[in-house]
Structure 1
Amino acid sequence: MLEILPETRDNVLAVRVRDKLTIPDFDQYRNLVRDLMRKHKETHIYYEMVDVDWTQPVAAIENGLFDIIHGLDYGRVAMVGEKKWQEWAAKLISPVKKHGIRYYDLADKDKAMKYVLQGEE
């Protein structure tokens, strides 16, 4: 399930994902990112994962390809999670982003949001 957080505004997209991520979830996320990228030079992303156990492989691959194509249009990106595989995923896709991805544990989500919104921790 994809939840749009209230911090979403201007060139910032803040989302929380829970449970299973489906292809429609990824499609909605990509459409939101694409719309922001059309309007702004850089799009900053806060991506929080809570109780996420599974991602549909096809959706994850499609999302990865989107990131590669649009990597230079991303600004500050923070991924917040609670599992080691989430940190590895952040490190894996970090090189395709203009400023990379900073990974934070769920306990540090306030620091992550501050980084995305203000550029500092």
Structure 2
Amino acid sequence: MIQFVNSKNENLIAAKLEGKISTSDVELIHSRIDEILNSNQKVDFYFEMHDFHGYDLQGLWADIKVDNSHLSDYGKMAFVGERKWQEWAAKATDFFTGSEVRYFDLKDKEQAKQWINL
């Protein structure tokens, strides 16, 4: 499940992630990516993960397709989580994109918000 968080930064997609991400969740994020790209800006992300378990299979495939088509469109990414695998996922994202990616422990979410300008 995804719950968007209000942001004053117009090129930032900020969301809280819980449970598993589905295809419909990815479609919501993709529509926001398209809105930002239409204003000729790079897309920044803030993902705060609470009791997050990743993707269902269809959601994972949908996310891979979206990311493949937009890898050069992404700017900064802040991943805030509570599990070691989430940190590894952030490091993998950093490796495969030209984005500036940082992982923050949940206790450091205020620092993450400051870094991403949320």
State the alpha-carbon separation in 2 of the partners of residues 93 and 61 from structure 1: 15
**Alpha-carbon distance, 1:14 to partner:** 0.7
SS at match of 2:117: helix
TM-score by length of 1: 0.85
Unaligned 5+ runs, structure 1: none
- Residue number in structure 2 paired with 1:11: 11
Shift of 1:50: 0.7
Deviating 4+ runs (over 4 angstroms): none
2: distance between equivalents of 1:103 and 1:74?
Answer: 16
Count of aligned residue pairs for this structure pair? 118
Measured against aligned partners, the alpha-carbon deviations of 1:30-80 in whole angstroms (never above 9, x if no partner) come to: 221222122132111111111112421231232123223212211111111
2:9–2:117 Cα contact (<8 Å) kept: no
Query: Structure 2, unaligned stretches of length 5 or more?
Result: none
CA RMSD for the aligned pairs? 1.8
Percent identity between the aligned chains? 28
Cα distance in structure 2, aligned partners of 1:82 and 1:66: 25
**Distance between the aligned counterparts of 2:104 and 2:96, measured in 1?**
18
Q: How far off is 1:13 after superposition?
A: 1.3
Matches within 5 A, 1:77-116: 77-116=77-116
When the two structures are superposed, what TM-score results if normalisation uses the length of structure 2? 0.87
Tell me the secondary structure at the aligned position of residue 18 of structure 1: strand
Q: 1:78 to 1:54 in 2, by over 3 A?
A: closer
Deviation at 1:103, TM superposition (A): 0.8
